[in-house]
Amino acid sequence: MKCTLSTILLLSGSSVAAPFAAVALVNRANGALVDQADSALIDRADGSVGQPQEAFVSYSIEFSSFPDFAGNNSHPNEFSNNLLNNLGNLTGTKPYIRVGGNTQDFAIYNSDLPVGLSGTYNLTRSADYPTTIEIGPSFFESYTTWPDVKFSHGFNLGGNNDSRRWDTLLQTVPLACAALGKDNLYVWEYGNEPDLFSTNALSPVRSLEWNESDYVVEWLNGTRTIKALLQEHCPELVGNDTYGYMAPSFAGTDLHLKAPIAWADGLDEDGDIKYFSSHNYITSADSLGVTLQGTLMNHTRTIESISAHLTEYASIAPPNTPHIFGEQNSLSHQGRPGTSDTFGAALWALDFSLYCAAAGLARVHTHMGTNYRYASWQPVATDRAPAGTRPPYYANIATAFFVGDDRAAVAHVPYEGGSEVDAAYAAYVDAGLARIAVLNLRAYNYTIPPNSTRPARPLRAYTLDLGDGAPADGTQVLVRRLSANGSDAITGITWDGTSYALELDAGRPVRLENVTVGERVEVQGGIVEVGVSDAEAVVLDFLGV
């Protein structure tokens, strides 16, 4: 009863060619619907498909914010753990957590510190995180508060112009390995965005003459020291299945250091880089001309942003080293209020993640921090923001459902002629069509100026030609919606009629009585039609019961 996908070949974390059954989105009249989709999806002629690794939906948490997100032994953050459990229930594996970011290269160890982390803010450098940081022994308690979660720990390479950097590495490797152990270790990381070390205008930590070969020398010296310390203190963590790194963790593809040159200069000389890690942001929150519609709710711009990293990775082609986004989100510099924290940003996050899956990325770590505008949730209440679940989390949930726990292969289904405001993806399980996601990325503003009239919200008809092997006529397909009152909404978000709000049940799923669920559409003549409102996404669930 499923559309077939013939002779598909899948490699974990890679993109390979295979012939697809025809799955097309075409314009067909439907008088019951308000408007028609602008363009038509064509058959996936090149047959490229990606199969994500487990925990495809994962997170990167700012080093200085990690104690807020996770808590400690006496006060674990149960709200955060509930949100992670929700994702694990959908995919079979809780998200992997990268602990890092800018502040990992500020952290200095103080064995006498009575708290996990103490930070001092310098507002000329950043108002969002402390730029002078000490961590104490209890910092590592935070790694024990989330059951069944794997972590990467970020060690300080940059140094922040502090001479205690090397002593900090020597002192913290034993603490980190003891806290994580074999069951909770993902990989290690040494340095965050070293391609910016020389060009940070506020506080450069290397000279402009510092180049890729200099970086490689430092990185190899540090990682070999880490391994020696592990052999001494945690010898069980130096086996091939537990020892390795994500690297190079560069901020971009064309900054002061270039990943292909670093690789050619011997970055992976020891063969211990398990994941080629890139960082991706569409643009900066400080950039001129940033808009929700033009910058985030723009399928073409999303593809272009990801494609630059795919091209870089292909030029290196590291063997047996899957490509991940070790850090990514909408707008760098922690996002923009009214843009990164809206439902429109959630639609962007769904589009971004599913395109990554189809393009062959093995895993995507969404970056977060306390008070960050783009965070999927605020872990604790502060004087700047209440604790709570944010719109992007609902996109994380929808992505997790779409990828599922059934080893789905994901394909991007492009539009004939291209479209900036329509996107579609297909998920295949055992070579059969399991799910189709359709995203209507046209903005619809729910909040309007006083004395203004809100225009009617368009509903557009999307008609999918399922091609050869389509389910029999009359087959019922379950429709699940990612919805809000508009693209500018910051509350009232639902996935399939469910809320994950803190105030309802501490982030656990709560089915809302005032949201319609269980909608079904019918296959007729190999065709299925569905209406999708502007600023909405749907998943057609062919396996839904």
| CATH code assigned at 46 | 2.60.40.1180
Three-state DSSP state, 310: helix
Neighbours of 527 (CB within 10 A): 17
Report the C-alpha gap between 439 and 348 in whole angstroms.
9
- Residue 450 makes CB contacts below 8 A (sequence gap 6+) with none
Set 312, 327, 420, 536: catalytic member: 327
Element (H, E) at 312: helix 299-316
Same domain for 335 and 470?
no
Q: How many residues does the chain have?
A: 545
Report the C-alpha gap between 292 and 88 in whole angstroms.
30
Catalytic site includes residue 519: no
Domain that holds residue 167: 57-403
Same domain for 399 and 416?
no
CA distance readout (Å), 490 to 109, 297, 338, 371, 493:
38, 15, 8, 15, 7
The pair of three-digit structure tokens given for residue 48, joined into one six-digit string? 């490229």
The pair of three-digit structure tokens given for residue 536, joined into one six-digit string? 């909405």
Report the C-alpha gap between 49 and 56 in whole angstroms.
15
CB 79 within 8 A of CB 388: no
Report the C-alpha gap between 492 and 462 in whole angstroms.
25
Same domain for 335 and 316?
yes
Set 62, 212, 420, 536: catalytic member: 212
Report the C-alpha gap between 66 and 151 in whole angstroms.
11
Same domain for 452 and 322?
no
Same domain for 20 and 78?
no
Same domain for 351 and 431?
no
Torsion of CA 479, 300, 348, 315, to 10 degrees: 110
Strand 536-541 and strand 432-440: the pairing is: antiparallel
Among residues 369, 403, 437, which one ends one of the domains? 403
Closest CA to 154 of 46, 226, 80: 226
Domain assignment present for residue 537? The answer is: yes
Neighbours of 208 (CB within 10 A): 9
For the chain, helix, strand, coil in percent to 5 are 25, 25, 45
Question: Structural domain tally of the chain?
Answer: 2
* AA identity, residue 328: Q
Domain assignment present for residue 282? The answer is: yes
Same domain for 236 and 351?
yes
Domain assignment present for residue 83? The answer is: yes
Domain assignment present for residue 6? The answer is: no
Same domain for 320 and 462?
no
Catalytic site includes residue 212: yes
pLDDT recorded at residue 400: 98
Among residues 352, 384, 403, which one ends one of the domains? 403
CB 391 within 8 A of CB 80: no
Domain assignment present for residue 26? The answer is: yes
CB 64 within 8 A of CB 129: yes
Torsion of CA 166, 172, 174, 176, to 10 degrees: -140
* AA identity, residue 350: L
Domain assignment present for residue 3? The answer is: no
pLDDT, block means (10 residues), the chain with 545 residues: 26 28 40 34 50 97 98 97 98 98 97 97 93 97 98 98 97 98 97 96 92 98 98 95 96 97 98 98 94 96 96 94 98 95 98 97 98 98 97 98 93 80 94 94 89 88 86 94 97 98 98 94 95 98 88
Extended strands (E) in 34-88? 35-36, 49-50, 57-62
Same domain for 108 and 219?
yes
Report the C-alpha gap between 191 and 197 in whole angstroms.
10
Domain assignment present for residue 285? The answer is: yes
Same domain for 44 and 74?
no
Report the C-alpha gap between 98 and 268 in whole angstroms.
20
pLDDT recorded at residue 416: 67
Same domain for 150 and 94?
yes
How does pLDDT run across 490-529, given as a tens digit for each residue? 999 999 999 999 999 999 999 999 999 999 999 999 999 9
- Give me the helices (H) in 192-295, please: 212-233, 259-264
Strand 35-36 and strand 459-465: the pairing is: parallel
Among residues 362, 385, 403, which one ends one of the domains? 403
- DSSP codes joined into one string, 148-207: T--EEEEE--SGGG-TTHHHHHHHHHHHHHHHHHHHHEEEEEE-S-GGGTTT-SS--SS-
Same domain for 96 and 161?
yes
* AA identity, residue 361: L
Domain assignment present for residue 8? The answer is: no
Q: What is the CATH number of the domain that holds 155?
A: 3.20.20.80
